[in-house]
Amino acid sequence: MKIHRSAYLIILLACIVLAGACKKNRHWELSRFVSPETCGGCHDAIYEQWKGSMHNLAHHDPLYREVAIHDLKGLSDPDEILEAEHCVVCHTPVGYVSGLPKKTSDHLKKIPGLAAQGIQCDYCHSATKVRKIYNAEIDIEPGNGESDPGTKRGPRKDVEPEYHTAAYSAMHTRSEFCGACHDVRHVVFGTRLETPYEEWKEGPYAKKGVQCQECHMRQRPGAPSTGSTERPDNPGALAAGAKERPHVYTHYFAGGNTLIPSLFGNSEQSKLAGERLRHAATLSVDSALSDGMLRVTVTNTGAGHRIPTGLSHVRQMWLEITVTGAGGRKLFRSGALDAQGRIMPGAIIYHTVFGDGTGNPVMNVAKAREILGDNRIAPLASEVASYRLPEISEASVTVEAKLWYRIVSQELVDSVLGKGKLAIPSVLMASDKKIVKVQ
């Protein structure tokens, strides 16, 4: 039987497309991955840093799990359901590529122990290529399990491990590798849901060649390693008994989350996140009121991306302002928390607002078809917050400004878990207090 040339081309094209799809969604048996505990047998210091980090806890994070399942409820639009079921690709990557969980709703099932260990050693160090810098579009080549771990890739050219082979990977030293998971787009609508890599790429740190790893993988206790601090080398050995090196990348992967590590008993990780937040921004109150306006300048001095970043429609960075007169009499207040831990109306909050495509705000990212607002602060940029004060008869007043941060709004947690179930801590990032002249 003869096949017409055009039909042959169609068949060939279909095979190429299917081959690409199979590669993209390639299945790996869970038995081919090496457990983090096995890696820790040699890389003990690195393992201890990673253990209890947000990478380790990505699957077990109760806020992520509860909000993700909550967001699935009530969805009927297939496009929205597809997005809501996609969270596991980044949060449980080894489980996803080995078939369980296949989707977010699989959290209700029992996940094998190795799969549930979040973003782990063998996933990152088996990575060979970043296909797209979002939605975990990463190619991996794991070995054949504990007895034949295969080749592990990293930033060193001069290592000769005994347990596995090693290969140098420039990719592991670059921000694109981080961005592959930390930048997230809606799988159907294309809405940019999380953009720390894009924010870095457009900013001054990228132009200077400062990669994500040069801040987030240099931090250790006492060394916040932000843009506003020194980022010192971390002397040490890659593995027990190996030679000492001038610098070994740390694996705490600290960001701004002080809550979740503490829920799992890791106070050190919480302290690291607090240190990072306290070296991310500065605050300055103007020395005089002009025409009844108070102005406060917030500057992103320490982050290579916008602040806040990540899933920034639930993150909250806000200003609390208190103006007092003679005898401590309060003349004005904004941004205080009420008895339920909620920010009182009228406060200036730095965040992103998603919309449903018709101009209505939405909290469920599965419904996010547009970005209605984004007032976050870019790297090394400043924003001036202005407040109209009531008429003041005094010659001067005392102004205290505080910049606060928390990973999620108390309202959202209350709506998902129930009121009083979990109090979300606030971290004081920066403050300023001045006697201000009234003009």
How confident is the model over 320-369, as pLDDT tens digits?
999 999 999 999 999 999 999 999 999 999 999 999 999 999 999 999 99
Q: What pLDDT shows up at residue 387?
A: 97
Range 172-183 average pLDDT: 98
Cα 243 to its chain centre, rounded Å, is: 33
Closest CA to 312 of 409, 213, 186, 421: 409
Q: Element (H or E) spanning 372, and its range?
A: strand 370-374
Bridge partners, 184 (sequence order): 194
pLDDT of 16 > 80? The answer is no
Average pLDDT, the chain: 94
- Reduced to 3 states, what is the DSSP secondary structure of residue 294? strand
pLDDT class of 14 with cuts at 50, 70, 90: very low
Task: Report the share of the chain in percent with pLDDT over 90.
Answer: 92
What ranges do the domains of the chain cover? 25-275, 281-438
Q: Which two tokens stand for residue 37?
A: 């505990």
3-state secondary structure the chain: CCCCHHHHHHHHHHHHHHHHHHHHCCCCCHHHCCCHHHHHCCCHHHHHHHCCCCCCCCCCCHHHHHHHHHHHCCCCCHHHHHHHCCCHHHHCHHHHHCCCCCCHHHHHCCCCCCCCCCCCHHHHCCEEEECCCCCCCEEECCCCCCCCCCEEEECCCCCCCCCCEEEECHHHHCHHHHHHHHCEECCCCCCEEECHHHHHHCCHHHHHCCCCHHHHCCCECCECCCCCCCCCCCCEECCCCCCEECCCCCCCCCCCCCHHHHHCCCHHHHHHHHHHHHCCEEEEECCEEECCEEEEEEEECCCCCCECCCCCCCCEEEEEEEEECHHHCEEEEECCECCCCCECCCCCEECEEEECCCCCEECCHHHCCEEEEECCECCCCEEEEEEECCCCCCCEEEEEEEEEEECCCHHHHHHHHCCCCCCCCCEEEEEEEEEEEEC
Q: Model's pTM, two decimal places?
A: 0.92
Residue 169 CA to residue 167 CA, distance in Å, equals 6
Cα 268 to its chain centre, rounded Å, is: 18
Looking at residue 35, its amino acid is S
pLDDT class of 26 with cuts at 50, 70, 90: confident
pLDDT of 247 > 80? The answer is yes
Residues 122-145 have pLDDT tens digits of 999 999 999 999 999 999 999 999
Q: What pLDDT shows up at residue 22?
A: 40
Q: What pLDDT shows up at residue 21?
A: 40
pLDDT of 17 > 90? The answer is no
Tell the CATH superfamily of the 281-438 domain: Immunoglobulins (2.60.40.10)
Range 14-37 average pLDDT: 69
Range 146-157 average pLDDT: 97
Q: Which two tokens stand for residue 205?
A: 């740190």
Closest CA to 266 of 111, 53, 112: 53
pLDDT class of 18 with cuts at 50, 70, 90: very low
Q: Which two tokens stand for residue 261?
A: 């590590």
CB 315 within 8 A of CB 398: no
pLDDT of 6 > 50? The answer is no
Residue 408 CA to residue 426 CA, distance in Å, equals 10
**Residue 377 DSSP one-character state:** B
